[in-house]
């Protein structure tokens, strides 16, 4: 190696040493705040998209063919049980009823005449049995015709609100035609899906008689002013999603909620021995969350963590760090992997207390 190259190497070495020294001085001059995870019994609220359904919701369909001769309600109207909603022109069915009634009267007279003859042994008991059978058949035809007449008057089977009326007065409709829908909204159901793990957690807490506050967040972001309760869980998991459906029931005395609305169920879940860290101690890269762990030599190392639940300013950790490790609380943007730092340590309980004070 010639003298010039040797001198250049010395200069570069001195320069690198000076840079490293300055870097160390920089970190030594600035002290960082460090804390640790903490284990607590806590609770968090998770939101689930919910579909609102009426306590009762049915389709009102025509049972006979004919012209709509009367529409006695309007869309959105509250109706009472037994209230007449529609009439279908009954003349054809009334005429059929009168015909069958006349035939039944004739069959009855015939049966009585045959009975008189049978009592005198003029005709056989077989003839009497046939006459009785004809009369019974005629009565059945009367009952059938009477039923069809009743189908021309369509009544509300329960108290509720009328949906869209799909046909106008005078429309010709077929048997089975959908006329409208009727909803009883005095109570509503909210259906939402949970994962298998969440289902198991819920069932465990129910067995332990933990409290569950079921709240509903409306589509406009406002909380619904009545609390609900979970009343049913479906019998099977959906193999395609791994979820199972829960059904919550809410009172609806103001009739604010309608069939088909959406919202968000807010379900409070308790966790024992939860590992908790401040959200501000984390950073995100490509949808993955990381912390800087400080080792025994005061060197920071990035660590990927798995978050189990999110609370205000806090994360419940599934895996990635332990209670005994130290994590960087502030200055995450100023350090990188393998930097050596100096720090002040803040007890985790004190950190959480400060976060709560700021939230208030």
pLDDT in tens, 320-351: 999 999 999 999 999 999 999 999 999 999 99
Task: List the beta bridge partners of residue 270.
Answer: 43
Q: How large is the average pLDDT for residues 170-187?
A: 96
pLDDT for the residue numbered 298: 94
Q: How large is the average pLDDT for residues 65-82?
A: 96
Which two tokens mark 12? Answer: 């570069």
CATH topology of domain 30-41+273-359: 2.40.420
Within the chain, which residue ranges are assigned CATH 2.40.30.170? Answer: 46-54+184-271
pLDDT for the residue numbered 210: 46
What is the rounded distance in angstroms from the CA atom of residue 279 to the CA atom of residue 35? 12
Q: What is the pLDDT of residues 11-47, one digit of tens each?
A: 555 455 555 555 555 444 589 999 999 999 888 788 9
The answer on pLDDT for 293 being more than 50 is yes
Neighbours of 93 (CB within 10 A): 21
CATH topology of domain 46-54+184-271: Elongation Factor Tu (Ef-tu); domain 3 (2.40.30)
Neighbours of 88 (CB within 10 A): 24
Within the chain, which residue ranges are assigned CATH 2.40.50.100? Answer: 65-182
- pTM of this prediction exceeds 0.75: no
The answer on pLDDT for 85 being more than 50 is yes
The answer on pLDDT for 66 being more than 80 is yes
Within the chain, which residue ranges are assigned CATH 2.40.420.20? Answer: 30-41+273-359
Per CATH, is 65-182 categorized as 3.40.50.300? no
* 215 or 202, which is more confident: 215
Strands (E), the chain: 31-35, 38-61, 66-71, 78-79, 84-88, 153-155, 160-162, 172-173, 178-195, 214-218, 229-233, 243-251, 262-278, 283-285, 288-294, 300-311, 314-319, 326-328, 342-345
What is the rounded distance in angstroms from the CA atom of residue 319 to the CA atom of residue 177? 58
Q: Please check whether residue 143 is in contact with residue 102, taking contact to mean a CB–CB distance below 8 angstroms.
A: no
The answer on pLDDT for 265 being more than 50 is yes
As a whole number of angstroms, the longest Cα–Cα distance in the chain is 152
Q: What is the mean pLDDT of the chain?
A: 88
The answer on pLDDT for 312 being more than 90 is no
């Amino acid at each position: 190696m010639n003298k010039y190259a040797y001198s250049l190497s010395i200069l570069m070495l001195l320069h690198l040493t000076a840079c490293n020294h300055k870097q160390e001085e920089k970190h030594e001059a600035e002290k960082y705040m460090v804390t640790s995870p903490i284990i607590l019994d806590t609770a968090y609220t998770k939101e689930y998209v919910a579909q609102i359904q009426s306590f009762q919701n049915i389709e009102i369909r025509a049972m006979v063919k004919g012209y709509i001769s009367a529409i006695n309600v309007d869309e959105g109207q509250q109706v009472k049980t037994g209230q007449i909603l529609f009439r279908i022109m009954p003349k054809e069915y009334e005429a059929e009823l009168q015909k069958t009634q006349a035939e039944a009267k004739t069959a009855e007279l015939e049966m009585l005449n045959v009975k008189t003859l049978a009592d005198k042994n003029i005709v056989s008991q077989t003839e009497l049995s046939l006459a009785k059978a004809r009369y019974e058949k005629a009565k059945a035809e009367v009952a059938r015709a009477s039923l069809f007449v009743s189908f021309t008057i369509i009544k509300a089977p329960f108290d509720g609100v009328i949906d869209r009326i799909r046909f106008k007065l005078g429309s010709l409709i077929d048997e089975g035609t959908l006329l409208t829908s009727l909803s009883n909204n005095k109570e509503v159901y909210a259906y939402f899906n949970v994962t298998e793990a969440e289902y198991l957690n819920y069932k465990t807490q129910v067995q332990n008689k933990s409290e569950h506050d079921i709240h509903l967040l409306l589509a406009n972001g406002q909380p619904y002013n009545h609390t609900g309760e979970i009343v049913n869980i479906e019998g099977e998991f959906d193999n395609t999603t791994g979820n199972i459906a829960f059904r919550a029931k809410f009172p609806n005395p103001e009739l604010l909620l309608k069939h088909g609305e959406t919202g968000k169920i807010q379900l409070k879940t308790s966790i024992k021995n939860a590992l908790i860290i401040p959200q501000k101690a984390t950073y995100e890269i490509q949808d993955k969350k990381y912390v800087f762990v400080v080792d025994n030599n005061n060197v920071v190392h990035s660590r990927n963590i798995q978050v189990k639940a999110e609370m205000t300013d806090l994360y419940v950790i599934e895996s990635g760090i332990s209670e005994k490790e130290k994590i960087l609380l502030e200055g995450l943007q100023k350090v990188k992997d393998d930097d050596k730092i100096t720090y002040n340590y803040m007890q985790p309980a004190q950190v959480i207390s400060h976060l709560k004070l700021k939230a208030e």
